[in-house]
Each structure stands twice: as structure tokens, then as C-alpha cells.
Amino acid sequence: MRPFSSTELAPLEFEPSIGKTTNKIKASTGKIAWLHSVSDEPGASFDIKIKDGLGRTKWEKKDCKSGNEKFGMLLNLPTMIGEDLEVEVNRIEGSKSVKVFLN
């Protein structure tokens, strides 16, 4: 079996108009180094939260925004390989949907 690479994973898509504000994933590496997002409109802002399998908040950032369609930041969030994680995006303003890449 070939191991997963975090850069080969599909983005997590969030679209609050249809009620999709959370996604569940399994950690493929020992840490989440970078968070990148792409929105369909420039200047979008949102809140993001990463929870563990028991619902405890591991990381949270409010008012993520930039002047263009892309946002990114260094996390260096330690995880365990195979750990269940829930990514939640709330309060999306200025955009209809947001795609989040974790690697």
C-alpha cells in the first residue's frame, strides 16, 4: 500500500448556503504544517476551527482574510497519524464557498 502524501489530498469544500460547514478527515502525517484556502470571491473572510475526534478544539483562528482569493498561514499543529479531525468553517462573508487545503 502506498502511503498518502498530505499534498495529494483533495481540498475540503465549505458552502454554507447548502449547510456544509464541517468536514471530517484523518490526519495523514504527524503534523499539519500549512493551511491554505481559496475562495470564489476576492476579500472573503471566515473563521476556522480544527477539533479532535472527541470534539475538543485543537486550533482556532477568527477573521481569516486577505485582499485576494487566497489565504494561507503556517500552523505547525501536531497530530497523530490516523487521528480523526473535524474542520469547521463559520461566518463566511464575501464569498459563496471556501476550499481549504491542509498539508
pLDDT digits 0-9 by tens, 53-75: 999 999 999 999 988 899 999 99
Instruction: Label residue 1 by pLDDT band (50, 70, 90).
Output: very low
Q: What are phi and psi of 65, to 5 degrees?
A: -160, 160
For residues 4 and 27, what is the distance between their CA atoms, to the nearest angstrom? 10
The verdict on residue 63 lying in a domain is yes
Inter-residue contact 23 to 87 (CB < 8 Å): yes
* Tens of pLDDT, residues 23-50: 999 998 899 999 999 999 998 999 999 9
Q: What percent of the chain has pLDDT over 70?
A: 93
Give the number of C-alpha atoms closer than 13 A to the C-alpha of residue 102, restricted to the C-beta side. Answer: 25
The verdict on residue 52 lying in a domain is yes
The pLDDT assigned to 8 comes to: 72
Question: Would you tell me how many other CB atoms lie within 10 Å of the CB of residue 100?
Answer: 21
- CATH code (residue 83): 2.60.40.4070
Q: How many folded domains does the chain comprise?
A: 1
Inter-residue contact 83 to 25 (CB < 8 Å): no
The chain-wide mean pLDDT, for the chain, equals 90
The verdict on residue 8 lying in a domain is no
The verdict on residue 62 lying in a domain is yes
Between 17 and 7, the higher pLDDT residue: 17
The verdict on residue 40 lying in a domain is yes
The verdict on residue 42 lying in a domain is yes
Written as nine digits, the cell of 19 is 449547510
